[in-house]
Amino acid sequence: MKKIGIMLVEDHNVFREGLKKLIDMEENMQVVAEADSCTTALQNINADVDIILLDIGLPDGDGLEICTRMIQTHPHVKFIALTTYDDVTFVRKAMEKNVHGFVPKYAFFEEIRSAINMVYKGGTYIYPGLQAELLLKPDSPVLTEQETSILQLIARGKDQKEVAARLYISLSTLRRRIRGICTKLGVKTLEEALAAAARRGLVR
């Protein structure tokens, strides 16, 4: 069984080493690269890396800024922000930089494990403690413009074939987008996603 390749980008050595030990104890994942700065992260990334656990406050720059550069050379890589910041504004900024998951450093390892597994499977993970706050802030663009359009069209009574045609995407792509929407909003069904979007003022 292929293990999920993890890269740790963290400048606090004790924290990084402790997290590495916990990850390497898991059956389905292992640390395949490490870095303690933006510079060494760009140097040490390799083809075995699937997910990068990224500290945002690095000594030589903003950790979010290296996401764009890494995607250009390693487009399959996904990012999980692992930081002390836990406000909605920061989460929003991280999502705009192609971060697929967000877990504060004070979270238990079980949350980090869940984030890794969910993001690896194509989902988006937001720490549960922040989900309710995100849903209550209509101005927080957790959803992309296309995802918002999907919900709005469905709320107006359009079926999935009509929505796909209107947005010029395939039906399978639409269904993937819907699954992503549900993951981002922390719900399981499309109906629950519509209700959550209505609470945020995205649909009526």
Which of 115, 135, 155 lies at the terminal end of a domain, its last residue? 135
User: Are residues 149 and 125 part of one domain?
Assistant: no
H or E element: which one contains 83?
Answer: strand 78-83
| pLDDT at 138 (0 to 100) | 47
What is the C-alpha separation between 72 and 79, in angstroms, rounded? Answer: 13
| Residue 180's CATH number | 1.10.10.10
Other C-beta atoms lying within 10 Å of the C-beta of residue 94: 24
Tens digit of each residue's pLDDT, the chain (204 residues):
789 999 999 999 999 999 999 999 999 999 999 999 999 999 999 999 999 999 887 888 877 778 878 888 888 899 998 877 655 666 767 777 778 888 888 888 998 999 999 999 888 888 776 665 555 454 444 677 788 889 999 999 999 999 999 999 999 999 999 998 888 887 889 998 888 777 666 776
Q: Are strands 29-35 and 61-62 parallel, antiparallel or unpaired?
A: unpaired
User: Are residues 117 and 83 part of one domain?
Assistant: yes
| pLDDT at 131 (0 to 100) | 62
Which of 111, 135, 159 lies at the terminal end of a domain, its last residue? 135
The answer to whether the CB of 72 falls within 8 A of the CB of 65 is no
Q: 170's torsion region: left (phi>0), alpha (psi -120 to 50) or beta?
A: beta
pTM of the model: 0.64
Residue identified by tokens 């800024």 is: 65
H or E element: which one contains 177?
Answer: helix 171-185
| pLDDT at 184 (0 to 100) | 80
Strand, coil or helix: what is 122? coil
Structurally, the chain folds into a number of domains equal to 2
User: Are residues 67 and 32 part of one domain?
Assistant: yes
Which of 84, 109, 135 lies at the terminal end of a domain, its last residue? 135
Question: What number of residues does the chain have?
Answer: 204
Residue 107 phi/psi, 5-degree rounding, is: -70, 155
H or E element: which one contains 114?
Answer: helix 109-120
User: Are residues 79 and 40 part of one domain?
Assistant: yes
User: Are residues 194 and 120 part of one domain?
Assistant: no
| pLDDT at 133 (0 to 100) | 56
User: Are residues 173 and 131 part of one domain?
Assistant: no
What is the C-alpha separation between 180 and 160, in angstroms, rounded? Answer: 15
| pLDDT at 141 (0 to 100) | 45
Other C-beta atoms lying within 10 Å of the C-beta of residue 29: 20
What is the C-alpha separation between 191 and 159, in angstroms, rounded? Answer: 13
User: 63 is in which domain, residue-wise?
Assistant: 4-135
